[in-house]
Amino acid sequence: MNITGLAHNKIALNRMDGYFPPSYPLNYFRLDIKIVENVMSLLLHEYFPYIACATYDNGLQIQFFDHEDVMTALKPYYTVLEAAFLDAPFHPNSHNLSEIELKNAKHWRPNTNGEVIFNCWD
């Protein structure tokens, strides 16, 4: 299985049935992959070239983490967002958000940058 940027000799990908395209209300693609024995998800924003590595707790809570080999392989193609940034507290004034995005953030009250970038708001 080839994914742009993941044709890498250190990363042995195994095909899984875990492809979820963005559909209301999700604003990102989710691809579940298995690297050796670990299952992880790649989250790709629907409109921007932002990508991140994640796992899910209870199928709902996203836990971001950094996978060095995956991040290195994807950097030429995407803006790879690190877990420290995604888990950092969200401050609306620190970002260049549109008026609609600020309105949504005020309504949904996200706690972290990750909750703003990879969201399921309606």
Helix or strand (DSSP H, E) at 99: helix 99-108
Any domain includes 5: no
Q: What global pTM score does this model have?
A: 0.83
Specify if 7 maps to a domain.
no
pLDDT in tens, 5-17: 555 555 555 555 6
Residue 2 lies in a domain: no
In a domain, 122, yes or no: no
Establish if 61 belongs to a structural domain.
yes
Q: Is residue 64 part of a domain?
A: yes
- Cα distance between residue 30 and residue 19, in whole Å: 6
pLDDT in tens, 51-110: 999 998 776 789 999 999 999 999 999 999 999 999 999 999 888 889 998 999 999 999
Q: Is residue 3 part of a domain?
A: no
- Give the total number of structural domains in the chain: 1
d(CA 16, CA 14): 6
The residue range of the domain holding 44 is 13-117
